[in-house]
Amino acid sequence: MVPTKFNKQIGFNCIPQIDVFAEEGFTKEEWKMMKETKKIMGLPNLKISATAVRVPVFNGHAESVLAEFFNKISADESREIFKNSVGITLIDDVSKL
């Protein structure tokens, strides 16, 4: 079968591109993720970089986030920050996955 929508087979594959690339080197999806994160968090000057990868699944949506803090904090402290943040659902208990 010859791919028609994507330039590679998407089934059983991860495609490291969602939408077209802009001049800055990010795809439109990555740009949208960065813009929406700043808006949701109310931090227009937040330094953020995004990587979007299309992973074909039957049902679901997820984001993996790497957060760097100005001051060194523990993993437990970072969990509390995310747990208490509006608009964020922290799912971090691997025994419940």
For residue 57, is it within any domain? yes
Supply the pLDDT for residue 1.
64
Which of 12, 19, 14, 13 lies closest to 33 in space, CA to CA? 19
For residue 2, is it within any domain? no
**This prediction's pTM:** 0.59
pLDDT at 36 over 70: yes
Number of domains in the chain: 1
Contact 28, 22 (CB under 8 A): yes
Supply the pLDDT for residue 44.
92
For residue 81, is it within any domain? yes
For residue 9, is it within any domain? no
What's the domain range around 84?
A: 28-96
Supply the pLDDT for residue 21.
87
For residue 21, is it within any domain? no
Instruction: Enter the tokens of residue 51.
Output: 């990587």
Supply the pLDDT for residue 60.
73
For residue 20, is it within any domain? no
For residue 33, is it within any domain? yes
For residue 42, is it within any domain? yes
Question: ∠ CA(31), CA(59), CA(56), 5° rounding?
Answer: 60
| 17 or 76, greater pLDDT | 76
pLDDT at 95 over 70: yes
Q: Which amino acid is at 34?
A: M
